[in-house]
Amino acid sequence: MNTDVRHEDAVAVIMLDNPPVNGLGLVTRQAVWDAVERAEADGAVSCIVLAGAGKLFSAGADIREFGTPTAYREPNLLSLIERVQSCKKPVVAALHGTCVGGGLELAMGCHYRVAAPGCQIGLPEVKLGLLPGAGGTQRLPRALGVEAALNMVVSGEFMKSERIAGLAGQRLIDQMATSESALLNEARAFAQSVAQARPMPRLRDLDCQHPQGDGFFAFARNSVKQAMPKYPAALACVNAIESATRLSFEQGMAKEREIFLGLMDTPECKSLRHLFLAERNAAKVPGVAPDTPERAVKRVAVVGAGTMGSGIAMNFLNIGLPVALIDNTTEALARGVASIQKNYQAQVSKGKLTEERLAQRMGLLEATLSLEPLSQADLIIEAVFEDLLVKKEVFGRIDAMAKPGAILASNTSTLDLNVIAAATARPADVVGLHFFSPANVMRLLEVVRGEKTAPDVMATVMKLGKRIKKTPVVSGVCDGFIGNRMIEQYIRQAGFLLEEGCTPRQVDQAIEKFGFAMGPFRMGDLAGNDIGWAIRKRRYVEKPQIRYSPIADALCEMGRFGQKTSAGWYDYQAGRREAIESAVVGQMIAKYRTDHQITPRQVSEDEIVHRLVFALVNEGALLLEEGIAARAGDIDVVYLMGYGFPPWRGGPMHYADSYGLDRVVHAMKRFAQNPMDDATFWQPAPLLRQLAQQGGSFTGGVTP
């Protein structure tokens, strides 16, 4: 564990061994340090190979150490890299699988690098709100050239080893191994071949210039400012790499360090680190062991060829699974197939898909009126009309046809999965797979766990969700699950804000300035205001005590459903998506206020934002209390992936933590005093109140 050292033929092999990704945490850093010291002192050793155990070389620094003193405890990564570089015997890094972040920085401190084909190489720190902080911004431009290095560091994207090896003049990779399996032996042979070569090459000694430095970096800075205005790390990367062309190596390293330490404490970095771990933690299902055997899924059937069903089908066609798309009319099937074909054709037009792959995927699609495929499918996904009676009837028929062990999934977005499961004789095989529209695009997948859903069914669909490139998040059964239940309170607040004095544009602009991709009214016009109308009509019957602003109903009664009717909260010109402020809607709102003796008031942007966001937070706290959401991080991932919450703010629950839960509760008390608002709703959820009183946080629990 942590390292393993073997000596053969005067070659000492130091193996990074810290599963799952050979993260360079303190224990591993110390172990590598000690191994280098021993090998350097061992007269029987003439050269050293540094390699990674398992599937990769190293994923870099241990992100879980960040924000703790351990991250900087000696030997920190900088010191370790300096130690490797100053070793009196050549150190050859053997790279395979993934060599990124601090792992690549460590490899660049070695004297040579031998890479296996297919090894993913990169410096993704910018995606964590950081920059490479262990020499990456100073060595990579020297190894790859300034422009290639800048692109890699600012984008955070990985490049394959063979592509890097093909770059003119590159010094990052000294030799490509013939295969991953041959890597270690070939790296050992390479090490022996250079064992006596002196002076040993050091990337830091290479020159680093750009012929048109001023112009190039000015252009780079402008591009980054425009592309990522909310991410200070991207601009910092440009500045650090420019330092490599202007300063000595030592000065450049000092500059990099200064910038790195500054970024580590930014709210953006804390948010992005939180989301990195939250997205991975969301994959862990409480009560389901990570090694739970999965059921084989080789054939999929989708019942319902509408917009959702055809989009869902594409996800499985994309990973090469045959899909039977079932509906009860040829017209519906034709529309579904045409929609899939059109979506793929659009990808071909953008160069994202070849004609051959399109044909291959369409060849896996069977559109049929017959229920016969239900008896062959390993996974059956129902995507029919959102009505409980209809779904129960469909599940009864699926249950009668499906083979033993098949997984029966509903795409329901709000209905009670336990009731649907009870319509079958196999409730343990029933699960909710709530895709978000467009189902072939949106990454969020709410996996709804019924009371009786079997652990292996959960394990299977969570892994399958990742295979179809979704971010699966587990939700318990409640109306709206996680995302829609929270968004309903957010939209209620938006309606109240209109009554009190805001225009749709004011509300949208305030929350879009906060960072949301789209405000509630533009979102309603995009999704269709009639969807919310149908839900409210249901609510008026089910929960008459909950008040909604009737303005949204008045809008729908005018037939203003949004873009699809060229009129919603905003006006739209034919064929254009631009939201134009609507005089008709303005008059309708003004009339409502007059009819209800409401004197409109100026509402601050801060109040707009915090009534919308803290409505999410309070409902999120209730979801945690009820066990519908397992973690606050899960809720943040839902809002990031499904509702356009700004990543640099980390999600609603993380944002509340960073704002201070005591301040959140204080703001809610103010909102509760507003006679136009809902004082009952603004009673802080008990969990929120408790954490606020104890100085705790959603994502960190109660601070000790």
- Residue 442 lies near ligand T1G (rule: CB under 6 A): no
Q: Which of 109, 124, 129, 309 binds ligand T1G (CB under 6 A)?
A: 124
Q: Is the Cβ–Cβ distance between 231 and 89 less than 8 Å?
A: no
What's the rounded Cα separation, in Å, for the pair 112 and 114? 7
**Segment 498 to 557, residues that bind ligand T1G, using CB under 6 A:** none
21 counts as binding ligand T1G under rule CB under 6 A: yes
Cα–Cα distance measured from residue 336 to residue 342, given in angstroms and rounded to the nearest whole number: 10
Is 499 considered catalytic here? Answer: no
List the one residue from 90, 102, 309, 652 that touches ligand T1G (CB under 6 A): 102
Question: Binding residue for ligand T1G (CB under 6 A) from 52, 129, 132, 373?
Answer: 132
User: Residue 230 CB, nearest distance to ligand T1G (Å)?
Assistant: 19
Q: Which of 37, 82, 125, 331 is catalytic?
A: 125
Q: Which of 225, 230, 280, 352 binds ligand T1G (CB under 6 A)?
A: 280
Indicate the residue among 118 and 405 with the shorter CB distance to ligand T1G.
118
User: Minimum distance between the CB of residue 422 and ligand T1G, rounded to whole angstroms?
Assistant: 34
Distance, in Å, from the CA atom of 93 to the CA atom of 14, rounded to the nearest integer, reads: 10
Least Å distance between CB 83 and ligand T1G? 15
Say if CB 105 and CB 132 are below 8 A apart.
yes
Nearer Cβ to ligand T1G (156/519): 156
Binder among 133, 465, 651, 696 for ligand T1G (CB under 6 A): 133
Tell me, what amino acid is at 633?
G
- For ligand T1G, the closer CB: 263 or 439: 263
Q: Which residue, 60 or 651, is less far from ligand T1G as judged by CB? A: 60
> What binding mask, one character per residue, do residues 613-652 give for ligand T1G by CB under 6 A, x or -?
----------------------------------------
Q: Identify which of 613, 625, 615, 617 has the alpha carbon closest to the alpha carbon of residue 476.
A: 625
Q: Is 365 in the site for ligand T1G (CB under 6 A)?
A: no
Parallel, antiparallel, or unpaired for β 379-382 and 407-410? parallel
507 in Cβ contact with 494 (< 8 Å): yes
**x/- map, 65-94, ligand T1G, by CB under 6 A:** ------------x-----------------
**Furthest CA-CA distance within the chain:** 94
Catalytic residue among 8, 82, 105, 578: 105
Looking at residue 157, the DSSP 8-state letter turns out to be -
Vertex 594 angle, CA 590 and 596, to 5°? 115
First-to-final CA distance of the chain: 31
Minimum CB separation of residue 103 from ligand T1G in Å reads 7
Q: Segment near ligand T1G (CB under 6 A), from 33-41, 43-51, 101-109, 353-361?
A: 101-109
Q: Which helix (H) or strand (E) holds 501?
A: none
DSSP string, 422-486: TTSS-GGGEEEEEE-SSTTT--EEEEE--TT--HHHHHHHHHHHHHTT-EEEEE-SSTTTTHHHH
The torsion region of residue 351 among left (phi > 0), alpha (psi -120 to 50) and beta comes to left
Minimum separation from the CB atom of position 121 to ligand T1G (A) = 11
Quick one: which of 189, 277, 442, 554 contacts ligand T1G (CB under 6 A)?
Answer: 277
Give the binding-site size for ligand T1G (rule: CB under 6 A): 25
When asked if residue 364 is in the footprint of ligand T1G (CB under 6 A), the reply is no
When the beta carbons of 284 and 576 are compared against ligand T1G, the nearer one is 284
| Residue nearest ligand T1G, Cβ-based | 101
Q: How far is CA 48 from CA 13, 108, 622, in A?
A: 6, 15, 56
Q: At its nearest, how many Å lie between ligand T1G and the CB of residue 290?
A: 8
268 in catalytic set? no
Residue 128 binds ligand T1G, judged by CB under 6 A = yes
Element (H, E) at 4: strand 2-8
Q: How far apart are CA 546 and CA 492, in angstroms?
A: 10
Order of strands across the sheet that contains 323-326: 365-368, 323-326, 300-303, 379-382, 407-410, 430-435, 444-448, 471-475
Residues annotated catalytic, as ranges: 105, 125
Residues engaged in binding ligand T1G (CB under 6 A): 20-21, 23, 59-64, 77, 98, 100-102, 105, 124-125, 128, 130, 132-134, 136, 277, 280
